[in-house]
Chains A and B, each alone.
Chain A
Amino acid sequence: EVQLVESGGGLVPPGGSLRLSCAAPGFTLSNFWMIWIRQAPGKGLQWVANIKQDGSEKYYVDSVKGRFTISRDNAKNSMYLQMNSLRAEDTAVYYCARDRDFYENKISYDAFDMWGQGTRVTVSS
C-alpha cells in the first residue's frame, strides 16, 4: 500500500530541538512537492512548510520562519523537518503529505492526496 510514515516526534523542553522524518516506502518521493502540516490539540489544520522536488524552493508559514527548516534526501526517499527554538505553541501532531498534480482540461491543479499517520510533538518543561 502506498503510504507515508512519519517519525521523530516526542517530548522536548521549550527552546529545544527535534528532527522529524517522513519516509515514502511505496512511491518515488522525488517526483513530488512535499508538505508538513500540523494540528494542535483540539484545533484545526495548519500548513507549515513545503519543498520542491529538487529542494530548490521552500516556503514556510510566518510563525516558524527562522526556526524550522524543511529538507529532503531523494536518495533516501525521505523528507525532514528540523525544528529549533521550540515553543509551547508548536505542540501538535505533525503530518507529512504529498502534493500531487492533477490535470483537468490541460490545466494543472495540486492537492494533498496522501498523508502520513502523524507524529506527536509536545513542547513542555
Chain B
Amino acid sequence: AIQMTQSPSSLSASVGDRVTITCRASQGIRNDLGWYQQKPGKAPKLLIYAASYLHSGVPSRFSGSGSGTDFTLTISSLQPEDFGTYYCLQDYNYPRTFGQGTKVEIK
C-alpha cells in the first residue's frame, strides 16, 4: 500500500498567517490526491481534488499544488474557522490511503 506522510503533525498559527501543510507519497501518484478538512466531532469535508482543483464552495484562500510524490496544501490567510485536522488522500490505487493528519490550531 502507498504510504502518505504529512508534515507537520500539528501547528499553531495566528489569524492572517500563511499556513502550509505537506504530504509525501511513498511512490508516484500523478496528481491523484485530495485534501480534506475535519472539525472535531464532524465528518470530513472535501477541499481540493486532483491535487490543485478547489471544490465548489471552498474559500479561495485554500489552494493545493504538487504532482508525483510531493504535495502541498496552503491556506493563504488563516481564518478562525480554519481550525481542525487536515488529511491528504491518494486515489491512485487500492487501497486508498490517507495521511496521518495535520491538526491546525488558532493562536
Contact = CB atoms under 8 A, between A and B. Distances in A.
Interface of A: 35, 44-47, 50, 59-62, 95, 102, 104, 107, 109-113, 115-118
Interface residues of B, number: 26
A115 B42 CA distance: 10
Contacts of B87: 44-45
A113 B98 contact: no
B54 to A, nearest CB: 11
B82 interface: no
B45 A115 contact: yes
Given A47-B96, A112-B46, A118-B43, 7 more contacts: A45-B101, A47-B98, A61-B95, A104-B53, A109-B91, A110-B91, A117-B43
Contacts of B101: 44-45
B100 A116 contact: no
A62 B101 CA distance: 21
A111 B95 contact: no
A61 B2 CA distance: 12
Interface centre among A35, A113, A116, by most chain B C-beta atoms within 10 angstroms, is A113
Contacts of B43: 95, 115-118
B61 to A, nearest CB: 19
13 contacts: A45-B36, A45-B98, A46-B98, A47-B89, A107-B50, A109-B50, A109-B91, A111-B46, A111-B50, A112-B34, A112-B44, A115-B45, A117-B43
B49 interface: yes
Given A95-B43, A115-B43, A117-B43, A109 B53 contact: yes
